[in-house]
Structure 1
């Protein structure tokens, strides 16, 4: 894990993510890229094409750099290689473009979640990044003075299209030195007998060399509730899940368990794109 990107709006939630990123960077020798998005018309900040940029655009650019200076002076960033980036973005998918340009390995971002009508029609910023990212996204909800991962829940239906994400998840488990709890949630609408569920899980993991795991079949009203309740029961440090990254009408009709978890879980959540 050489490069970590942290989107920031300079909020408390964003700083919670930065503190976690700093701990990971110190442990693994990573660089941190702090990215701030300005929601300004492109022509206002294009110095080449606009002879007299609007004062408002210049003010917000200057203000962003001042906030970066204040943030970069924090004690928890001392000794780390931190790069600040200010860009004008038309969409959240452009965050991923920046990750590709920089060869980023992990996105760490803060979130306070979303609920109700806001969740249905707007969603949280973290949810939007999870939906568009083909990189692992670690979503942080709270302040972690010491970020350690000992109990790592990986929730899945253990179908074969999730195998690549499982490889990514086990790589992170090794990185953290964590034990994985592999959980399949049974619901009344999609019930699988325990014997069949265990056979599916064993077939799913048979080619993996990762051995620090236990398997669990958990019954609940919904898959999301099962993941949250199981994670609470074992006091999990991290929840991992695959995401299809559905967008548009497909997302509206089918939804995404991973995005629901990002909005509703109080624990850190890491997503892996199928």
Structure 2
């Protein structure tokens, strides 16, 4: 499930730290790491040569800093628009996960400032792990999975169980936010574990020897998910992110989508921990 990881270098933030942390998790022990650095189009041959050499040094430095087994890493240096290049490279190598940094820009600001992560998030069909520049990246011990009735939520559960199946240091928080329930209502542990959406997931986790607990809250899902992540000091948040584009428009940029009105877009921007958005 995680055979090929595409690490898209932005030169900023904490994505290198996140990559180091991931490589300590058993699920990633056999993964091939593809490190991509993109050179913007240059106006002259001399400028291109200079940027090409600089890009090669950046890739070598990342491999050195992260201390990756050379047999499990491939470096990719390309020229072009970073947004399109990341998406195209993910397709070319058939990446199982894209890891990249994010400035955490909001909606219109993100669109107007030509955010690479926003563009890739909206147009790629690959799972993405986004690490905002202004958050503190910690060793993964508390993983939160927000569940609902959607197909993408089921894929997120598969991913969470795969990530934690042999990783005994982590605890899985299974979360259901019900918009029809009063936000102030407090349920007992037994009531939360019997929630029809969480109960099957809890049983799967237990069968795999994964430590798990359930949380059921009412209120606005996007805001509550971010609040629960903060309240429980979550190190990694997983969320199903459905691909809402009709097949005829796969290659078209929809302005409404780029303005970011979805629950997953809200969480991507506002969560104070790395966010893994799962698609399949």
TM-score bracket for this pair, using the shorter chain length: 0.7 to 0.9
**Are residue 28 (structure 1) and residue 29 (structure 2) matched?**
yes
Please state how far the C-alpha of 1:180 moved relative to its aligned partner.
Answer: 2.4
1:260 pairs, out of 266, 269, 274, with 266
Look up the match of 2:218. 219
Please state how far the C-alpha of 1:271 moved relative to its aligned partner.
Answer: 0.8
Moved more, 231-240 or 22-31: 22-31
Please state how far the C-alpha of 1:261 moved relative to its aligned partner.
Answer: 1.9
**Are residue 16 (structure 1) and residue 6 (structure 2) matched?**
no
1:92-129 CA distances to partner (integer Å, 9 max, x unpaired)?
35423323332332222222311375235447433332
Does the residue aligned with 2:75 lie in a helix, a strand or coil?
strand
Please state how far the C-alpha of 1:136 moved relative to its aligned partner.
Answer: 2.1
Task: Provide the C-alpha distance between the structure 2 equivalents of 1:137 and 1:30, rounded to a whole number of angstroms.
Answer: 16
Look up the match of 1:230. 228
Task: Provide the C-alpha distance between the structure 1 equivalents of 2:237 and 2:175, rounded to a whole number of angstroms.
Answer: 10
Moved more, 262-271 or 18-27: 18-27
1:116-157 CA distances to partner (integer Å, 9 max, x unpaired)?
75235447433332223322222223454x622x32211133
1:164-220 CA distances to partner (integer Å, 9 max, x unpaired)?
332223222325444322222234xxx1588899654158649x7332433322133
Give the root-mean-square deviation of aligned CA atoms. 3.5
Q: For 1:169-180, what aligned pairs fall within 5 Å after superposition?
A: 169-174=160-165, 176-177=167-168, 178-180=170-172
Q: For 1:81-92, what aligned pairs fall within 5 Å after superposition?
A: 81-90=72-81, 92=83
Does the residue aligned with 2:197 lie in a helix, a strand or coil?
helix
* Structure 2 unaligned regions, length at least 5: 245-252
Task: Provide the C-alpha distance between the structure 1 equivalents of 2:97 and 2:121, rounded to a whole number of angstroms.
Answer: 12
Q: 1:231 to 1:71 in 2, by over 3 A?
A: closer
1:248-273 CA distances to partner (integer Å, 9 max, x unpaired)?
14415772222222222221111101
Look up the match of 1:102. 93
Look up the match of 1:139. 130
Task: Provide the C-alpha distance between the structure 2 equivalents of 1:94 and 1:82, rounded to a whole number of angstroms.
Answer: 19
Residues 127 and 263 of structure 1 are in contact (CA less than 8 Å); yes or no, is this contact kept in structure 2? no
Q: 1:157 to 1:122 in 2, by over 3 A?
A: farther
1:54-108 CA distances to partner (integer Å, 9 max, x unpaired)?
322222222211222333333x415443321111334635423323332332222
1:11-31 CA distances to partner (integer Å, 9 max, x unpaired)?
244433443355458961333
- TM-score, length-scaled by structure 2: 0.74
Does the residue aligned with 1:134 lie in a helix, a strand or coil?
coil
2:178 pairs, out of 172, 178, 186, with 186
- TM-score, length-scaled by structure 1: 0.76
Task: Provide the C-alpha distance between the structure 1 equivalents of 2:156 and 2:26, rounded to a whole number of angstroms.
Answer: 23
Does the residue aligned with 1:63 lie in a helix, a strand or coil?
helix
Residues 25 and 31 of structure 1 are in contact (CA less than 8 Å); yes or no, is this contact kept in structure 2? no
Q: 1:249 to 1:96 in 2, by over 3 A?
A: closer
2:238 pairs, out of 237, 240, 260, with 240
Pairs aligned (count): 256
